[in-house]
Amino acid sequence: MAGQGRGAVRRAAACLAAVLLALGGCAAPETADPAPQEIRTLLDRHARALLARDETAYAVGLDPAYAPSALREFDRLTEVPLASWEYHVTDVDRAGQDRATVRAELSHRIAGYDSGPVTTERVLDLTERGGRWYVTGERPAEGAVQQLWQQGEVDAVRGARTLVLGVGQPEERLKAVAAEADRAVPAVSSAWAGTWAGRVVVLVPASLDAMGGLLGAPAASYRGIAAVTTGEVGGGPDAPADRVIVNPEAYGVLGGFGQQVVLTHETTHVATRAATSASTPVWLSEGFADWVAYRGTGRTAAQAAPELRRAVRAGDTPPALPDDKAFAFGSDADALARAYEGGWLACALIAERWGEAKLTAFYRAVGAHPQREGALEKALAEVLATTPDQFTTAWRDYVRDRLT
């Protein structure tokens, strides 16, 4: 009886399937669209040809009308020592039988410098002719940042510990940046008690506007900012690679000492990236970078913190450490300077009163906390044996003592 019952169920299910198939007017499942796999194959070949610097193979996948523009960008990458170049297709939008718009993540690594890739979103236009797909255009996705080689021909200068890539810059200027960055790397290594790559990539675009394009933000936000560092906090060794991006206008007006401070500050961000997280307040990450940059220079607090000194001497000692909003680019320049100076003096206080080893241990402890809430309190208690209120009072006293 049980076997007969199961057979009846199977026959009923088969009949039901036949009825539904007939009602649907479909005799067989649809064949999967082969275009996405063909497109992935095309982009893989495209990437391999670029990485191998094989212009002939690269041009095979280009539509003739687009080839001159694409080959110009191919040539601009000549001096960039690429270790990898890969497209990861995330979406294919077919427009008829012979056209498609592809969204992809383009990732690349620079040989000898990047443990993780730099990734950006790209949009590619493709057309199909004679059974083959060809690239007819490629551009950044909406809101995505530009890459340096999309702005012009790239020149490269290699230092002992640095790679400087520039567009529209004299070679002597790039060499000077490389020399300053080479001095920054050992200065950071002597202050940061932790392992890091010990090398840095510096980008020098042609202008402030070009800098904005590399950062995907209005250029005006970075006016007066000599350099910034891009990267992903708390990402570990495989996180996207850091880039120090120089504002050629603001950096160019600095003297030698100022340029050295800027590049040491930014290199510190590269070194501490893995120990920095969303739990790290900006006053600590920026203050620590400034502390490393001024360490051993003999610079006095009055020289390094002129804006905060003016405020303190006018009787306006800040009541608390600066919050994250105080560090926003594009805000009041004097207030921004006071925020940086306040963070630096907080780190200088820790280094002087508790010791440099405690400062780096404190930095690591804050960044290791799973969330912002409670991170400072826990690190202050466990590393410095103090409380937020006690530390704030000590910091305010220290600021007054050093700046009056």
| Rounded-to-integer distance, Cα 290 and Cα 179, Å | 20
Torsion of CA 303, 308, 313, 319, to 10 degrees: -150
Angle subtended at Cα 227 by Cα 144 and Cα 251, rounded to the nearest 5 degrees: 130
Reported pTM = 0.88
Query: Token pair for residue 85?
Result: 């170049």
For residue 223, the one-letter residue type is R
Q: 234: pLDDT confidence band, cut at 50, 70 and 90?
A: low
Which residue from 195, 223, 199 is spatially nearest to 211, judged by alpha carbons?
223
For the cut 80, the answer to whether the pLDDT of residue 65 exceeds it is yes
CB 241 within 8 A of CB 117: yes
Average pLDDT over residues 101-109: 95
Q: What is the pLDDT of residue 193?
A: 82
Yes or no: say if 35 and 47 are a contact pair by the CB < 8 Å rule. no
Structure tokens at 137: 């255009």
Contact between 364 and 192 (Cβ < 8 Å): no
Better-scored residue on pLDDT, 67 or 32: 67
Q: Which residues pair with 110 in a beta bridge?
A: 82
**5-24: average pLDDT:** 35
Q: Per-residue pLDDT averaged across 310-336, rounded?
A: 92
Confidence at 111, pLDDT banded by 50, 70, 90: very high
Residue 21: pLDDT above 80? Answer: no
Model confidence at 32, in pLDDT bands (50, 70, 90)? low
Q: Is the pLDDT of residue 4 over 50?
A: no
User: What domains can be seen in the chain, in order of their start residue?
Assistant: 35-144 (3.10.450.50), 148-272 (3.30.2010.30), 277-404 (no CATH)
State the pLDDT at residue 236.
Answer: 59
For residue 99, give every residue at least 6 positions away whose Cβ sits within 8 Å of its Cβ, in sequence order, or none: 125, 126, 127, 128
Band of pLDDT at residue 389, cut at 50, 70 and 90:
very high
- CA 250 to CA 212: how far, in whole Å? 13
On the question of pLDDT at 78 being above 60, the answer is yes
What digits encode the pLDDT tens for the residues 207-223? 999 999 999 889 988 98
* Mean pLDDT estimate for the chain: 90
pLDDT tens figures, 303-320: 999 999 999 999 999 999
pLDDT per position as a tens digit, 148-206? 999 999 999 999 999 999 999 999 999 999 999 999 999 999 999 878 989 999 999 99
